[in-house]
Amino acid sequence: MFKMNFPKNAFKIIHIEGDHANKNLHVHYQINGKSITASEKPEVLINDLFQLNGFSKNDANLILNLFTNEKISDKYKILSIFFDQNPVLFEIRDVLSNLNVFLSADEILSSNDILESFSKNDVIKIYFQSMKEHELTEKEEKNKLSLNKTNESQSKIYVLKNSDKNV
């Protein structure tokens, strides 16, 4: 990037490449009247834009919008959900590093920083799965308690019957 002061409209955007959701946007621009082109991330252009002032108002607004969309896009995305695991696992992609991680709903919910980096739809999926798992756990505990009570009452009956025969 050139570190000089240029008049307005000295640069012209010729192509935008990438996707804000994947945080890989690149703006290709050209010096007007020259065959020289350059490519930068919107963040770099925003940092230098106030020194350059070489883009038209529309191009500057476009760069600002691209930068903002890239910043507010989600850092983590749910790729798949493995229901055959206990607890259910989410395959999560870190968009910046392009790495995949497997986490349960409770592991994700234990960190606000991680949770805030998901889209609203993904957060709903995570909360829903966590609630389902907690409901299942409660039902299993209730079933165990009722089974234990049934076993205790049956053993008391058995003991009473045995004591009658001995007399």
Rg of the chain's alpha carbons, rounded to an integer? 30
Residues 6+ away with beta carbon under 8 Å from 17: 25, 26, 27, 28, 39
Write the secondary structure of the chain as one string of H (helix), E (strand) and C (coil).
CCCCCCCCCCEEEEEEECCHHHCCCEEEEEECCCCCEEEECHHHHHHHHHHHCCECHHHHHHHHHHHHHHHHCCCEEEEEEECCCCCCEEEEEECCCCEEEEEEHHHHHCCHHHHCCCCHHHHHHHHHHHHHHHHHHHHHHHHHHHHHHHHHHHHHHHHHHHHHHHC
Per the structure block, which two tokens stand in for 124?
């709903």
* pLDDT, position 26: 92
* pLDDT, position 153: 63
Residue with tokens 């010096």: 31
Q: What is the average pLDDT across 45-61? A: 75
53: region left, alpha or beta (phi > 0 left; psi from -120 to 50 alpha): left
pLDDT by residue (tens digit) across 19-32?
A: 887 888 999 988 88
Confidence of residue 1 (pLDDT cuts 50, 70, 90): very low
List the single range of 24-28, 69-73, 119-123, 163-167 with lowest mean pLDDT: 163-167
Q: Is the pLDDT of residue 121 over 50?
A: yes
